[in-house]
Amino acid sequence: MLTHTEENYIKTIYHLSGDANRDVSTNGISEVLKTKPASVTDMLRKLSEKSYIHYIKYQGVTLTKKGKKEALQIIRKHRLWEVFLVDKLKFHWDEVHEIAEQLEHIHSNLLISRLDEFLGNPAFDPHGDPIPDPQGEITIRKKYLLCDMAVGFNGVVVGMLETSPAFLQYLDRLNICPGAKISIKERIVFDGSLEILLQEDKQLVISYEVAKNLYVSD
Amino acid sequence: MLTHTEENYIKTIYHLSGDANRDVSTNGISEVLKTKPASVTDMLRKLSEKSYIHYIKYQGVTLTKKGKKEALQIIRKHRLWEVFLVDKLKFHWDEVHEIAEQLEHIHSNLLISRLDEFLGNPAFDPHGDPIPDPQGEITIRKKYLLCDMAVGFNGVVVGMLETSPAFLQYLDRLNICPGAKISIKERIVFDGSLEILLQEDKQLVISYEVAKNLYVSD
DNA sequence: ATATTTTTTTAGACTATTCTAAAATCTTAT
DNA sequence: ATAAGATTTTAGAATAGTCTAAAAAAATAT
Ligand SMILES: [Mn+2]
Ligand SMILES: [Mn+2]
Ligand SMILES: [Mn+2]
Ligand SMILES: [Mn+2]
């Protein structure tokens, strides 16, 4: 069974590696996990030993099949707990990450399948990210930046490009959150700002700067 | 902030120490936690250093005020999670302990207060044990062994003396679980067995052996 | 092609938790 | 009161994870 720490490394490698399974660097991992590169090297040797990663000195890492499977299970747990926190415990979607970071390490398959059922088998987490199924399969949903959509577009907010607290708080003030319905009424040519209809009832104008950082899907 | 391990030691000392705050022995702790006495001694020195316990070499341990407060918070979390698992995720009351053992270490006061609210501020866990309030206060509910009650008694199952799987499984088969309503209809003098009415609708006979291991409250 | 900079690894050390084996202390039974 | 037995502590070592400082390798810029 993996330790807390090993799980965090594997998850980080998955996130840095992306769909294309790109090589991940020692420094990259150390930045995300806030450890020193020397510590990362130690852990890489260990995870390689246990065959969770492909690792050749000085050449970067990728996950093995086994490692990727493990990563997807951790991500599944993380995102299911996030749904629980937001849907059931009324947390705001931008304050659940830290707690889910702890909950994702609870070991019990039965717990997770019961939680999944309790939540109604959600496909996406509160940030619009897909929740892997028990086999680790993920539904990929095409997403676009709102600024690239035409007048008349009709869809749903599925995430943000920029994730600074300042931006998230501003979105919150506008009542824009993942899952919110959006349609584009008009585009102001002068500054690229958009007149939108939110949740089919609120009309408002958002700047190009905002539209450039909002992912939507139809 | 306490580590996982320190929390387990403090909780164990609390449980062994009881209401009367009795001295707890090194061997006692080592048995519960399945570590060697030498490891316990090491941890006792550390917890004493951090003033969670009163510890004098060769003389046993008790919790300080600070230690007791900490213990009650951990127990509060443990029991609230147990309620969640049983009430919301449909776990059986005898299969939640191990998972709660992990969940009790999640650090977030906000999470616990939200969970408490979500569960309807329960006063007792699925095993009939009291849940400390946010200040660490516990409602003590007088409990008696069913075998000591008179014919005509009317109350609720609040726990078991014996906790072997064999006994719990048998109770399960009889549909007797914490929270179940019980009244005594008749006592058979010959063998001490009891004719009882369960949940106000099922009549059955239980042996003296069973009645001797069931805690009830009125 | 060589020098400089950046990245990565190694070497050695520290903290947390655990262990085994041996010594110290306490308890109990003559 | 003392010997035997049980409990507890110490000493020394292991593993997991982290760190700093220094060496090695790779990337980049003349
Ligand atoms: Mn984590
Ligand atoms: Mn998320
Ligand atoms: Mn625990
Ligand atoms: Mn319980």
User: What CATH number corresponds to the domain at position B37?
Assistant: 1.10.10.10
**Which is nearest to B143 in space by CA: B133, B156, B154, B153?**
B156
Task: Kindly state whether residue B181 falls inside one of the protein's structural domains.
Answer: yes
The predicted pLDDT at position B149 comes to 96
Total domain count, chain A: 2
The predicted pLDDT at position B19 comes to 87
pLDDT by 10s per residue, chain A, length 218: 999 999 999 999 999 999 899 999 999 999 999 999 999 999 999 999 999 999 999 999 999 999 999 999 999 999 999 999 999 999 998 899 999 999 999 999 999 999 999 999 999 999 999 999 999 999 889 999 999 999 999 999 999 999 888 999 899 999 999 989 999 999 999 999 999 999 999 999 999 999 999 999 98
- Distance between CA atoms of B65 and B53, rounded to whole angstroms? 8
Q: Is the CB of B29 under 7 A from strand D?
A: no
Provide the sign of the torsion angle of the four alpha carbons B106, B108, B113, B114, taken in this order. Answer: negative
The predicted pLDDT at position A66 comes to 97
Stated pTM of the model: 0.93
HSE-CB for B154 with a 13 A CA cutoff:
2
- Distance between CA atoms of A89 and A91, rounded to whole angstroms? 6
Question: Is B207:B191 a contact under the CB 8 Å cutoff?
Answer: yes
Query: Taking all residues of chain B, what is their mean pLDDT, rounded to a whole number?
Result: 95
The predicted pLDDT at position A70 comes to 98
Question: Is A112:A152 a contact under the CB 8 Å cutoff?
Answer: no
| Residue A108 in contact with partner chain B when CB distance is under 8 A | yes
Straight-line distance from CA A25 to C1' C1, in Å? 28
Q: Is the CB of A39 under 7 A from strand C?
A: no
pLDDT tens profile B143-162: 999 999 999 999 999 999 99
Question: Is A71:A10 a contact under the CB 8 Å cutoff?
Answer: yes
Bases on strand D under 7 Å from any protein CB: 7-12, 16-22, 25-26
- State which residues form the domain around B38: 4-63
**Which is nearest to A177 in space by CA: A112, A126, A118, A109?**
A126
Task: Kindly state whether residue A90 falls inside one of the protein's structural domains.
Answer: no
pLDDT tens profile B3-38: 999 999 999 999 999 989 999 999 999 999 999 999
A194 to chain B, closest Cα gap in Å: 38
Task: Kindly state whether residue B137 falls inside one of the protein's structural domains.
Answer: no
Q: Is the CB of B39 under 7 A from strand C?
A: yes
Question: Would you give the DSSP letter of residue B198?
Answer: E
Task: Kindly state whether residue A136 falls inside one of the protein's structural domains.
Answer: no
Straight-line distance from CA B25 to C1' D4, in Å? 22
Bases on strand C under 7 Å from any protein CB: 7-12, 16-22, 25-26
Cβ atoms within 10 Å of A139's Cβ, excluding its own: 10
Q: Is the CB of B193 under 7 A from strand D?
A: no
CATH of the domain at A150: 2.30.30.90
Element (H, E) at A25: none
- Distance between CA atoms of A116 and A84, rounded to whole angstroms? 9
Ligand 2 centroid to A139 CA: how many Å? 15
Question: Would you give the DSSP letter of residue A130?
Answer: B
